[in-house]
Amino acid sequence: MLKTLKTPGDTSWFIHDRFGMFIHWGLYSQPARHEWVRHNEEIPTDVYDAKYFKRFDPDLYDPNAWAAAASDAGMKYFVITTKHHEGFCLWDTKYTDYNATNTAAGRDLLKPMVKAFRERGMHAGFYYSLLDWHHPHYVIDPHIGPYRNAKNRAELNKGRDQKKYAEYMYNQTRELLTKYGKIDILWYDFSYPKPDGLGKGKADWQSEKLYKLIRKLQPNIILDDRLDLPGGWDVKTPEQYQPREWMRVNGQPVVWEGCQTLSGSWGYHRDESTWKSVDQLVQMLIDTVSKGGNLLLNVGPTGRGELDYRALKCLSGMGEWMKRHARSIYGCTQAPAEFVPPTDHRFTYNPKTKRLYVHSFAWPFKYLHLDGLGDKVEYAQLLNDASEIPLKPTDWTFEHMSHQNAGKNTLTLTLPTVKPNVTVPVIELFMK
Ligand code: GLC
């Protein structure tokens, strides 16, 4: 099995739990057409605030319902956007008035969320945007932000001091890491250093200073890789794609977590219609774990504070599968290299229990041939109903029924003709 780079963050629970909920919630849930709406439509601050800050009223917000939906789906941790690029803060921060307490919500929205998820035994993570389209000292650059096409950038930047913004982030990070108990993940987003020098990276965020503060306040917190600090992170975060194999940095396998949307947008998007099916989502989770990674799957609650009905449908579909198959996810990782899965199948492996899980994305025609496993398996069963799968084919008496398996130490499983009534069937192999 692959050994990953040792970093200060405590990833032991993380690589066991494998599956978390990402939550993107902010003022952008009201325009309901992507969390980048302010950038995409170049909406000026006063217009944005008059429409959305003034009207933010999540009267149906019930973090217990969110936590229940996550936990029923089999998720074990959550990461919430405490502040996204728009700059709005969900918590009672003393460093800006641009926060939930000054909306109709009238209270810190983060605190009850952390409590609700913790009560269900889930780990808590904070996302924090490095970009900030609202802060008066964030230096406006041509790459990203509501004013990227502005001709008068110099004028707009008059009096802006990026150092003051970095100090603001420093102070807010201290708040987030001291007011809410032990936080398990800190998820900064994102750096974009550019060759023209007009992007932003570690010097603009004062990443090194931040890093020291983080490690002082929460030494074992898991820190993501978007602070532009080579070597100063615990988890690599590929976004919206499936890596083709276990992620490596400088040739060395690393702890990684893919973040994915249900429908293409992170923030609530009413009219987005490219929702992934439960089949795709379950396969995505399996594929991720088969490559040694975690899946952070996103929901974008509505402006009234509820999870969208389509998101709930996806989550309950995943929960239905997880109820019977979590054993092939929790505590599992990539299988030892000598075991190669057949076409359309994925392996995961639990090194503690020594069980190998065969996930079938396309149900085979009666036989499943597993090369190299001929003498290694003690017992096999379908995971969904614990029904035995015979290890030796029963009807191989005649030449015209043979399988050309000679010399490959093949294990041939005899499967039921009818695909088990689950999204992705799993065969559990008890290794010798
Ligand atoms: C991106 C986007 C953002 C989203 C994030 C999640 O960097 O800017 O909207 O929050 O990815 O990974």
Pair 209, 198: CB distance under 8 Å: no
User: Measuring from atom 5 of ligand 1, which residue has the nearest CA?
Assistant: 189
Q: Is the CB of 189 inside a 6 Å radius of any atom of ligand 1?
A: yes
For the CA of 298, the nearest atom of ligand 1? 6
Higher pLDDT, 129 or 144: 129
By DSSP bridging, strand 257-260 and strand 294-299 are: parallel
Confidence of residue 398 (pLDDT cuts 50, 70, 90): low
- For 334, residues 6+ apart whose C-beta sits below 8 A from its C-beta are 1, 2, 246, 290, 291, 292, 347, 348, 349
How many CB atoms lie under 10 A from the CB of residue 217? 15
From ligand 1's centre to the CA of 28, what distance in Å?
Answer: 13
Into which CATH architecture does domain 345-431 fall?
Sandwich (2.60)
6-28: per-residue pLDDT in tens?
889 999 999 999 999 999 999 99
Residue 298 in this model has a pLDDT that exceeds 70: yes
User: How deeply is 97 buried, as exposed, middle or buried, from its count of CB atoms within 10 A (0-12, 13-18, 19+)?
Assistant: exposed
For the CA of 84, the nearest atom of ligand 1? 10
Which range has the worst mean pLDDT, 79-88, 199-208, 393-402?
393-402
Q: What percent of the chain has pLDDT over 70?
A: 97
From ligand 1's centre to the CA of 136, what distance in Å?
Answer: 22
271 to 32, 240, 263, 300, 387: CA distances (angstroms): 8, 19, 10, 13, 43
Q: DSSP 3-state assignment of 188?
A: strand
What is the signed CA dihedral for 285, 287, 291, 296, rounded to 10 degrees?
Answer: -30
Confidence of residue 406 (pLDDT cuts 50, 70, 90): low
Q: Is the CB of 239 inside a 6 Å radius of any atom of ligand 1?
A: yes
Q: DSSP 3-state assignment of 126?
A: strand
Which range has the worst mean pLDDT, 84-93, 280-289, 406-415?
406-415
User: Measuring from atom 12 of ligand 1, which residue has the nearest CA?
Assistant: 239
Predicted local distance difference test score (pLDDT) of residue 192: 97
Q: What percent of the chain has pLDDT over 90?
A: 88
What integer best gives the mean pLDDT of the chain? 95
Confidence of residue 403 (pLDDT cuts 50, 70, 90): low
Q: What is the location of CATH 3.20.20.80 in the chain?
A: 14-328
Pair 26, 49: CB distance under 8 Å: no
From ligand 1's centre to the CA of 304, what distance in Å?
Answer: 22
Q: What is the location of CATH 2.60.40.1180 in the chain?
A: 345-431
Measured distance CA(372)–CA(63) in Å, rounded: 48
Element (H, E) at 258: strand 257-260
Predicted local distance difference test score (pLDDT) of residue 401: 56
From ligand 1's centre to the CA of 189, what distance in Å?
Answer: 7
Predicted local distance difference test score (pLDDT) of residue 131: 97
From ligand 1's centre to the CA of 173, what distance in Å?
Answer: 19
Decide yes or no: CATH 3.20.20.80 for domain 14-328: yes
Residue 396 in this model has a pLDDT that exceeds 60: no
Token pair 């969110």 in the structure block, residue: 66
Which pair of structure tokens corresponds to residue 59?
A: 């009267």
Which pair of structure tokens corresponds to residue 344?
A: 């359309």
Q: Which of 23, 38, 190, 235 to mutate to test the pocket of ligand 1 (most atoms within 8 A of CB)?
A: 190
212-242: per-residue pLDDT in tens?
999 999 999 999 999 999 999 999 999 999 9
CA angle 307, 94, 177 (to 5 degrees): 70
**HSE-up (13 A, CA, CB side) for residue 324:** 20
Residue 266 in this model has a pLDDT that exceeds 60: yes
Measured distance CA(110)–CA(113) in Å, rounded: 5
Residue 393 in this model has a pLDDT that exceeds 80: no
Higher pLDDT, 103 or 374: 103
Confidence of residue 394 (pLDDT cuts 50, 70, 90): low
User: How deeply is 251 buried, as exposed, middle or buried, from its count of CB atoms within 10 A (0-12, 13-18, 19+)?
Assistant: exposed
